[in-house]
């Protein structure tokens, strides 16, 4: 499993606009090979959000970032004036994954 997280700092008073931008956009993720799930996370800290995507592996994520689906998904709308600074991307390779049944698997 591979996880990509994009960290956003949303300007004061712009949280609803930011959330609605995500709610109303087309993701273009349907049918993308290796895509597992997406979540938009809101922190307890005011204005802090993370887009969190899970992929089968790093190769699937990288293939998506080089795809037409990625281009289409990221050319929608503008967050100019909504964000304080540029987003910051972090990526992670899962080492251990535990399911709800308590079963742990080595993810490497």
- Kindly list the domain boundaries of the chain, sorted by start residue: 2-106
Protein fold of 2-106: Alpha-Beta Plaits (3.30.70)
pTM: 0.86
Long-range interactions of 99-103: CB distance < 8 A, separation 24+: none
Q: Which residues have a Cβ under 8 Å from the Cβ of 17 and sit 6 or more positions away? A: 82
For the segment 9-64, what is each residue's pLDDT rounded down to a tens digit? 999 999 999 999 999 888 889 889 999 999 999 999 999 999 999 999 999 999 99
């Amino acid at each position: 499993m591979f996880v990509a997280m994009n960290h956003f700092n949303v300007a004061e008073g712009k949280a609803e606009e930011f959330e609605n931008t995500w709610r109303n956009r087309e993701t273009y993720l349907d049918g993308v090979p290796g895509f597992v799930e997406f979540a938009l996370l809101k922190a307890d800290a005011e204005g802090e959000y993370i887009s969190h995507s899970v992929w089968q592996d790093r190769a699937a994520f990288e293939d998506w970032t080089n795809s037409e689906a990625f281009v289409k998904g990221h050319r929608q709308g503008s967050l100019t004036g909504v964000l304080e600074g540029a987003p910051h991307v972090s990526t992670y390779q899962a080492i251990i994954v535990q399911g709800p049944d308590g079963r742990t698997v080595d993810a490497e």
